[in-house]
Structure 1
Amino acid sequence: MKLFYLVTLLFGLSSLSTTLAAKSFSASNLYYAAGLTDSQSTTFLEGLQSAGVKVLRVWLDGQSGTVKGTPINGFSSLQVDGPDDWDDTVLNRLDSFMVKANKYGIKLLISIHSYNALEAANDFYGKWYGTGDFYTNTDAIGYFKKRIAHVMAHVNPTNNKPWSQSSEYIFAFEAQNEAMHQQENPSALTSWQCTMAQAIQDNLSGNTGILVTTGGGAYLSNSLLDAYFSCDALDVLAIHAYGTGDFATNALSPYVDRAKDAGKMLIMQEWGACYTDASNNNCNGGSALNSGTRDSNIGKWAASIDAAGIPWFYWQILPNDDPHQGWDYEVGVDDVNWEALKAAGLAAGNADAAFDFSAYLL
């Protein structure tokens, strides 16, 4: 009888452990979210919610015209012609967007700058420093710290709190999308990344409800540089990967173990399934895949990332049909392949996670 009770107790504890295991989640990117109209954002957020999406990653770089088939309300870059030439339109737009997203159970990951803007000289950083000096010039580093402070001190009129204290709306901050993309000077990059992560932490002023993350790299291994694991200011290390080998569970698992040992968490911050038969890491050109083949690719690659216990952010879910332009990974809400991506997103929310993000999600 005692043995029976012991077995029952152990089984109950095992079941409780399984029940309480942290769950993963799905997320997405939309770099021009600040340009959506109210009706576009409603369609978009309803779609994200139906797919179980918990976080949306957005950027602060200027956009205008029609982007990925979405006719948007244009907005300028946050800093235009100089370090003190502020245009807060993008911040003001995102104030209302993040409040609306909250009602759909979604928080934002704020990318404070992008290498893309730097490379294209869309703001003064690219014009003054280019992609080389930006990471090493003392003035550039100082100006960028002021940019971080400006963004995080911005007050949302709905809650009357600065973004740095708005954990009900914001999941995480990152300094730059794909910083030093080609990694010509890794030591300078890792120093810059940790310096800016510390600047973000300093501006959080002790608020532990918002995470600090990197902005990924070009593929798995160069997203997770050695120095990132020992940078105390970084909470999350972000992976960007489009090569299918980088989606494999056995490729991801060693990094999961290393992150756990270092007290870090991982996210697959960008990944996608090519619409065409071009190489997945060079999805530019080629002929359209059979929709069933792409559905299968989305499902199996998402499941492989899930099996490693890493939450993922798809590149990108659109509020409209995908126009099938170059580098075509996008899936539109209710468009071809949407049901497959929606199913994958919901499955991610039921998958066991290697990291517990529950305190940072709605």
Structure 2
Amino acid sequence: MFASRSKCIFTLCSAFLLLSAPIVQAANSFAGSNLYYAAGLYDDDRTTLLQGLQSAGMKVLRVWIGGQSTSQKGTNINPFNDLEPNTPCNGDASCYDDTVLERLDDFMVAANSYGIKLLITMHSYNALSSNDAYGKWYGISDFYTNTDAQTYFDARLVHILNHVHTSLNKPWKELNDYIFGFEAENEAMIGDGQSFIEDHQQWQCDRAGTIKGQLGNSSGILVLTGGASWLAESVQPDWLTCDALDVISIHAYGTGDLSTSALKPYVSQAQSAGKKLIVEEWGACYFDTSNNDCPTGDALSTDTRNGNILNWAEQIDGAGLAWLYWQVLPNADPHQSYDYEIGIVDDPSWSTLQQAAKAAAQATAAFDFSAYLL
């Protein structure tokens, strides 16, 4: 009798615990966009962009720290210098031109009001190859191998992370309500080829270490790699074991790389390593050329392009990956060279991208980013 009663009580308690325990649900994914020259937007264009991204449920906008002097992709630009307009500054405060940082101060406050955080790319291979201060001093290959170049570049990263926001009065490294993540460079080393990247994986981890050293381990801000040219090049084994890296960024424009079956093995690798993945750049070419090589050509039919957008977004969603589209414009798309862009103004593909982004927000995620989103 006692044993029987004990069993009954145990069973009832177990049932109660099961009913009262919180139900663990898989996280949802999300979508976002890129606009590398966002610091140059005038107020009206900034509002158009942020309202558009919000209407699509997009949560992250990736922006670059560089200089812009002329209009880009049909967008009027309020010109600004690079952070280091003439030479690597190596920590000399008087050498830096903080205009781009101050522009992004305003931008991130505006973005926050629309439920959007910034992913900040702190330099770009594009600037290096266009002979910016580091390109002039070191050239493309030596920038990644010269110890002085690494020291000077780390000083750039530290300067950015410690920039005190002009209205919030806190350094960027403490602004986790406004900043999703930092990455040292867009597509680091891509001009030197995949074998160079494979041989110099430590460069990426060392730069991440510099960033993480400023952020600390509980900042609520992620450290990312900044991507490479394609899927296999974007995910390197040493990055999966680098303590300072939180997220491996995938850049992929080849249609094979955008398939669920191609992406899933990398998802498994990252999960096993305790890292996150994100498709940080992808896009659907406007022209009828190969999707990963579309400098010019005849325009695809709207139905074909929209079908591509929905298909590839669904494939990425199917792999459980969040994604950022390249790029959403606050203006009509002029369809210039390498045209993946989609304009918020009068673009027949904008409603399709909105649809895809909203679907991403309902998709099951392989990696939980919810703590880093608004």
2-structure distance, mates of 1:278, 1:14? 54
Q: TM-score, normalised by structure 1?
A: 0.94
Q: 1:344 to 1:10 in 2, by over 3 A?
A: farther
Which runs of structure 2 are paired with 1:20-99 in the superposition (5 Å)?
20-84=25-89, 85-99=95-109
Closer/same/farther in 2, CA of residues 184 and 272 from structure 1, 3 Å limit: same
Q: Is the Cα–Cα contact under 8 Å of residues 234 and 251 in structure 2 kept in the other structure? A: yes
Secondary structure in 2 aligned to 1:270? strand
Aligned identity (percent) is 56
Residues paired across the two proteins, number: 354
- Identify if the C-alpha distance between structure 1 residues 57 and 137 changes in structure 2 by more than 3 Å, giving closer, same or farther: same
Distance 1:13 1:352, change over 3 A: farther
- 1:281 alignment partner, SS class: coil
Q: Which residue of 2 aligns with 1:146?
A: 155
Q: Distance in 2 between matches of 1:256 and 1:13?
A: 33
Change (3 A) 1:299 1:15: farther
- Structure-2 change in CA distance of 1:249 and 1:189 (3 Å): same
Letter in 1 for 2:133: F
Q: Following the alignment from structure 2 to structure 1, what is the Cα–Cα distance between the partners of residues 27 and 56?
A: 19
1:303 aligned to 2:314?
yes
Give the CA deviation at 1:11. 11
Q: Could you say what secondary structure the match of 2:66 adopts? A: coil
Structure 2 runs not aligned, ≥5 long: 1-7, 90-94
Q: Is the CA contact (8 Å cut-off) linking 2:174 and 2:219 kept in structure 1?
A: no
Q: Is the 8 A contact 2:198 2:236 kept in 1?
A: no
Alpha-carbon distance, 1:61 to partner:
1.0
Structure 1 counterpart of 2:113: 103
Aligned-partner Cα distance in 1 for 2:219–2:275 = 14
Alpha-carbon distance between aligned partners in 2 of 1:105 and 1:248, rounded to the nearest angstrom: 29
Q: CA deviation at 1:329?
A: 0.2
User: Is the deviation greater in 284-293 or in 199-208?
Assistant: 199-208
Q: Does the 8 Å CA contact 2:125/2:187 hold for their aligned counterparts? A: yes
In the TM superposition, residue 252 of structure 1 has moved relative to its aligned partner by 0.4
Three-state SS of the structure 2 residue aligned to 1:154 is coil
Whether the 8 Å CA contact 2:282–2:326 is kept in 1: the answer is yes
Q: TM-score, normalised by structure 2?
A: 0.91
Superposed CA deviations along residues 308-360 of structure 1, whole A, max 9, x for unmatched, are: 00000000000001110010100001422000000000110010000000000
Residue aligning to 2:127: 117
For the pair 1:222 / 2:233, whether they are aligned, the reply is yes
Question: In structure 2, what is the equivalent of residue 344 of structure 1?
Answer: 356
Please list every run of at least 4 consecutive aligned residues from structure 1 whose deviation after the TM superposition is greater than 6 angstroms: 8-15
After TM superposition, give the deviation of residue 9 of structure 1 in Å.
Answer: 9.5
Gaps of 5+ in 1: none
Mapped contact 1:155–1:161 kept (Cα < 8 A):
yes
Q: Does the residue aligned with 1:67 lie in a helix, a strand or coil? A: coil
The answer as to whether partners of 2:316 and 2:323 remain within 8 angstroms in 1 is: yes
Rg larger in structure: 2
Equivalent residues of 1:21, 1:352 under 8 A apart: yes
Instruction: Tell me by how many angstroms 1:189 deviates.
Output: 2.9
Indicate the residue corresponding to 1:360 in structure 2: 372
The two structures, once aligned, show a CA RMSD in angstroms of: 1.9
Paired letter, 1:279: S
Offset from partner CA, 1:56-85 (integer Å, 9 cap, x none): 000011112210000110111111211223
The answer to whether the Cα contact below 8 Å between 2:122 and 2:182 also exists between their aligned partners in 1 is: yes
SS in 2 for 1:80: coil
How is 1:155-304 mapped onto 2 (pairs within 5 angstroms)?
A: 155-181=164-190, 182-304=193-315
- Show CA shifts across 1:19-60 (max 9, x none): x21000001100000000111100000000001110000001
Q: Deviations over 1:232-257 (max 9, x none)?
A: 11000000000001011011001101
Answer yes or no: is the 8 Å Cα contact 1:165–1:207 preserved in 2. no
